[in-house]
Amino acid sequence: MKRERDEMESIVWQTPANPPQRHDYIFNNGVRYVRPYYFEFISHAKKRWAGKTIVDLFADEFKGRPRDYYVSAVESGRIQVEGETVPASYIVQSSQKISHFLHRHEPPVMALDVIILQKEPDVLTVYKPASVPVHPCGQYRKNTVVGILQAEHDLAPLFPIHRLDRLVSGLLILARSASKADFFRQQIESGVIEKKYIAKVVGVFPEDEKIVDANVNFNAREGRSTAEVSKDCGNGITPLKGKVACTKFKRISTDGKHSIVSCQPITGRTHQIRVHLQYIGHPIANDTLYLSKSADNVSTEGIRTGREFKHFSQFDSDLGSGDASEKGSGEDFTNDPLCTNCPNLAPKGYDGFEEGLWLHCVQYSGQGWAYECPLPDWAILS
């Protein structure tokens, strides 16, 4: 116990105040990893946590690690209450400050550059690669668009003014000041901004413009949305749970097997374009979450998105250790004796290659401004 506490005191950890650096990244086989680092999470006990032992709290709320790990973390002082080491049987009270010092492994993303499209004094536009989150969230901190731009271009602070799902590529607009971010937010809230995407979908999409008005109901537990329309079941119209949503679609081209479709979301619901395309029978052709088993001409020939964007990419980047082992080694980082992810670089559950969606943000425009992004390779049907 004493030896573990002495080791704890000798470790230097990071907080959100520590900016990402170039040497934080390791590149291997087209994948960008983050060199594991020590980090302290701080939270205040929620009401539902009160009355639980400190170990039960973590085992119940944070299931990514086994209970034995939390017992060891409490006993070694890596989990503390109000800055003090407590026994594993300690009963948590509401609003207490709880800290968790851990060896943090971030999920990997595809090793695609975040390309700067336009750099203005108060606005930055970039080509966001698929698989990279926009900003720190969940297990991602450095492996984000904001983190990479800070590490590789010394651009900070940045304020993303719209959302792009992690697996979606394309145009991302970031304000370089809080006042400019407010300017964009006001236009978004007033509904004057137009958004355009393209998607590669299953089958021959209808030639005429198609407008889909179907509520979108997002299930956070399942991580997916469903489309809903009112139905008269004889006992009255069934009430809808989802939010009002509308998307306009127009076919650009088709090869008889797939179609490239222009998508204009009028509203902005979670997975709106993806679920609306599924609803009308033309899901995105590599969207495993929304591909219907009954859809005709579903292609299982997925293209590795890392190759799709090769004209924007530098896979064997000199920003990290090009010869790094995917499983990690003592030369890449120091293994932590308590860490449940060491000696791997990636956390458990993130070891496989992840493909980006064939969904790409092309343009955003508002009152007096417009920004565009180049098309990906998959948007050109042979």
Q: What is the set of active-site residues?
A: 165
Tokens 């998105």 belong to which residue? Answer: 305
| 170 secondary structure, DSSP code | E
Q: How far apart are CA 55 and CA 91, in angstroms?
A: 9
Beta bridge partners of 40: 101
| 241 secondary structure, DSSP code | -
Beta bridge partners of 366: 369
Dig out the tokens for 235 from the structure. Answer: 């006992």
Q: How far apart are CA 247 and CA 268, in angstroms?
A: 9
Tokens 């995917």 belong to which residue? Answer: 326
Contact 340, 69 (CB under 8 A): yes
Tokens 């509520």 belong to which residue? Answer: 215
Q: How far is CA 11 from CA 35, 77, 200, 331, in A?
A: 16, 13, 49, 18
Contact 139, 106 (CB under 8 A): yes
If one counts every other C-beta atom within 10 angstroms of the C-beta of residue 24, the result is 23
> In terms of C-beta density within 10 A (0-12 exposed, 13-18 middle, 19 or more buried), how is residue 18 classed?
middle
